[in-house]
A and B are shown apart, each in its own frame.
Chain A
Amino acid sequence: MARYLGKRIFYLVLTLFIVTTLTFFLMKLMPGTPLTNQEKLSPSQIHLIYKQYGLDKPVWLQYIEYLINATHGDFGTSFQFSDQPVSYLISSRIGASIQLGVQAMVLGVIVGIVIGAFGAVKRNTWMDSATTIISILGISIPSFVLAVVLQYFIGLKLGWFPIADWGGFSYTVLPTLALAMAPLAESARFVRTEMVDVLSSDYIELARAKGMSKTGVIYHHALRNSLIPLVTIIGPVAVNIMTGSMVIENIFSIPGIGNQFVQSVLTNDYPTIMGLTIVYCFMLTVVLLLTDIVYGIIDPRIRITENRG
């Protein structure tokens, strides 16, 4: 296990390095400058400002300097927010994003499991069709459309929850719902398929033959076994939530990093773009690492093949 873990962590660092490098050079290819007043400045003024920010150096040198500073946790200062360290910009806003992401993930996956299991048990009834419709809708309706609908009807017309803004649990309800829909649909579909398989397998028949109650069989044998493969979709679901949050944060005025990321790209705020890319990449690789570890723990076959290989 230790060797397996070591290998995975090495890949994590390698991935981070490659993403950082690619982003850095791609970003430098972006047209334009981080200056907001570009059209009104003389070339010599632009040059002096560049010098102040270290942008007059060759790109490879900027890259090496960036890497050295980044390994010390120094992501530089933002261009858009004068004198604001990027690390502070991110650390002060990441909390809201993580809270929202985790809430959406937990809600989506749990409700998804319940709906999926329900559909499988009541297979080929109208209830099964209903769960299928829910998951199809959940996958095909983009989260930002759902967000606008929720905001208008539940927030404005019914007034049950705040329309937007941040400040307490009630403010997180609508954005969490909007963001949870995709993971909900994804896991419901997945669990249903798995469970239909499991329910028709021999050991379920055996358990029933032994005289176990139906609910007991479903809970102890069928559901548990169908959940193992669910771990594999946690990675894609996490990606879904991270990308979705960029739009959702905008719509619900949530002070998170998704919002900030879009803004920094639009303003050529190089240090912020870099910092946020690294953070997103780190979060995603860590989620993938964790799912791998969890998978190894709950499914011994993975561990064994790894050790043999």
Chain B
Amino acid sequence: MKIKQIGATVVVAAASVLLLAACGSTKDSDSGSSSKGNLATNQTVNWMESSQLPSMDSSKATDQISFNMMNNTNEGLYRLGKDNKVEAGMATKTTTSKDGKTWTFTLRKGAKWSNGAEVTANDFVYGWRRTVNPKTAGQYSYIYSGIKNADAIVDGKKAVNSLGVKADGKYKLVVTLEKNIPYFKLLMGFVPFFPQNQQFVEKEGKTYGTKASAVLYNGPYTLKGWTGTNDSWSLVKNNKYWDKKNVTLKKLNDQVVADSNTALNQFQSGKLDAATLTGQQVKNMLSNKSMKVRPMARLAYLEFNQKDKKVGKAFQNKKIRQAISYALQRKQMVKNVLADGSIAAPGFVTKDLAKNPKTGADFTKDADSDGVGISYDKAKAQKLMKEGLKEVGLKKLTFTLMADNTPQEKNAAEYIQSQIQKVLPQVKVENLNLPYKTRLQRSAAGNFQAVITLWGADYSDPSTDLNIMTKDNPQNNGSWTNKAFNNYMDKANDASADQTQQRWDNMVKAEKELMKDQGVVPLFQTSQPQMMNSKVKGIIYNTAGTPFNFKNMYVAK
């Protein structure tokens, strides 16, 4: 986090330092194996989830709890480590064709499923085909887009076995792409691309993935005690895992604690080693040394509907959009209004999502141009609004701000309303808070004037965010278009595998253009505040995709 705001008060600065400390400490979790001299005798951790575990079927799961559990009990071609670095998984060697469209993975010999069967290339072919099969009705099949024929199969237009994946013997997997996917390696560590043992899945039939005994495991842990509907289960070290010598933890007990007050009480009594907090609690616990604020790759931003009949013309004016952005004091909003661990938006791409392939700098650092598009400046806001309104021939501007009816979005919308009306007297904002699903429907149908949108990244690459704002993207609800931006994104999306640096630079330029033109107004990045026992170490947390990797977790003395 960078303190860009020159006029920041001492209080704000102090809070930011505090947040910085909290954010920074999430990274101190070193990768286990190095410091095993001081291990506790009891290698057990008591963890919690805020809702139930719905599925252990990698073709069907859609939620983070399922993804977390599968990520720790199973393994794809790669495992995603710290900062989403690709680590060895089922694949030992990867070769790419010159045009980047054919990938050949050599699989690890002797990797075993928990029933003793060997993990082979066919398990990947079978699992992948099952995921894209429309009959499976999986909701993550869209992420296969770019693999040969995937889109057509998902849409029911081509046969499942035409998918661009085939097994060349037991240990060779060949994947054919329609176009170059620069972040393809990251996807290979993502749960929807995990292997499935055909014989086992077919034997289980409808019950596959619905209870602990109806799943096979090839990852660091196996799942025990999950009946499919109960509220507690555990992860137990998998003695058949190929890298078991690097797994120190014996057991992780997991329990559903839906109420975060209860979770905090359980944590304070020592029953839990970790507790996820929400809302007001966070404000009270922010100074506690056990608190870890884990930023998520989830951004709240303001979208303007440029096609709206009444106010669309005003929103097409860049100065009006900029004026609204300059009127907002984001740091004050996250600290005093939201107070739930959220951080002020660092841009359109979230913090801690992706790092510069060469320098290792965070994307938000590279793309920042002195806070353009995300900072507060009252004088500028007022000047721009005056000029903007004059340009479109208006005296006043009244618009409806649509948002979810969750406490967070409601608070944000109310803050935005009061702040805009305070700074810009010509503007009147009316608030409309709707249930999430209704809001989503209206956003997609273009039935809004301005809306607070929340977007979560699927994988650790800036394109997962930036592509939304390209022309004709279905998620570009406000219909903002910008030639230069589209141009940079086209270049980035067409870059070949060895052009990672050019691709990065193009995405940085695209982000800068988006901010300069104020295509959207970034508001805040959400986070998952968690109380953590300081003795539990080696947790790998990533902001996008699957949050937790427990492989190197251990309990220190």
Contacts and interface: CB of A to CB of B under 8 A. Distances in A.
Interface of A: 31-33, 35-42, 44-45, 48-49, 52-53, 80-84, 88-89, 92-93, 148, 151-152, 155-156, 159, 163-166, 250-253, 255, 259, 263, 268
Interface string B219-263: 000000001111110000000000000000000000111110110
B437 A31 contact: yes
A88 B63 CA distance: 21
Contacts of B227: 92
14 contacts: A31-B437, A38-B440, A39-B440, A40-B458, A80-B54, A81-B55, A82-B54, A82-B61, A83-B57, A152-B265, A156-B269, A165-B271, A251-B262, A253-B231
A155 B265 contact: yes
A160 to B, nearest CB: 12
Interface in B195-210: 206-210
Given A48-B156, A49-B139, A92 B269 contact: no
Given A42-B142, A263-B51, A84 B258 contact: no
Given A163-B266, A250-B258, A83 B229 contact: no
Contacts of B435: 31-32
B134 A48 contact: yes
Most buried by B among A31, A52, A252: A31
B154 A45 contact: yes
Residue from B61, B262, B435 having most chain A Cβ neighbours under 10 A = B262
A81 B256 CA distance: 15
A252 B258 CA distance: 9
B265 A44 contact: no
Interface residues of B, number: 53
Nearest to A31: B438
B52 interface: yes
Across the A-B interface, give the 3 residue pairs with the lowest CB-CB distance, nearest first.
A32-B437, A52-B137, A31-B438
Interface string B136-157: 0101111000000000001110
Nearest to B475: A39
Contacts of A39: 440, 443-444, 475
B437 A268 contact: yes
A52 B256 contact: no
B210 A92 contact: no
Contacts of A80: 54
B62 interface: yes
B98 interface: no
B441 interface: yes
B231 to A, nearest CB: 4
Interface in B81-98: none
A144 B269 CA distance: 21
Nearest to B66: A82
B436 A48 contact: no
A85 B24 CA distance: 44
Contacts of A49: 134, 137, 139
A53 B137 contact: yes
A45 B142 contact: yes
Given A45-B142, A83-B60, A156 B268 contact: yes
Given A37-B139, A53-B137, A156-B265, 12 more contacts: A32-B438, A40-B458, A48-B156, A52-B135, A81-B228, A82-B54, A82-B55, A156-B268, A163-B265, A164-B257, A164-B266, A268-B437
Contacts of B261: 148, 151, 251
Contacts of B436: 32
Nearest to A93: B229
A44 B157 CA distance: 10
B262 A253 contact: yes
B441 A253 contact: no
B140 A84 contact: no
Contacts of A52: 134-135, 137
Contacts of A33: 437
A82 B229 contact: no
A259 B258 contact: yes
B474 interface: yes
Contacts of A151: 261-262, 265
B265 A164 contact: yes
Nearest to A36: B62
B223 to A, nearest CB: 15
Nearest to A40: B142
B150 to A, nearest CB: 11
Given A44-B155, A45-B142, A164-B257, A263 B52 contact: yes
Nearest to A43: B474
A247 B204 CA distance: 36
Contacts of B437: 31-33, 38, 268
A92 B210 CA distance: 13
Given A81-B54, A163-B262, A45 B255 contact: no
Given A37-B62, A41-B142, A253-B256, A83 B208 contact: yes
A84 B137 CA distance: 14
Contacts of A88: 228-229
A116 B262 CA distance: 33
B531 to A, nearest CB: 14
A58 B140 CA distance: 26
B403 to A, nearest CB: 15
A17 to B, nearest CB: 27
Given A39-B440, A151-B262, A163-B269, A84 B142 contact: no
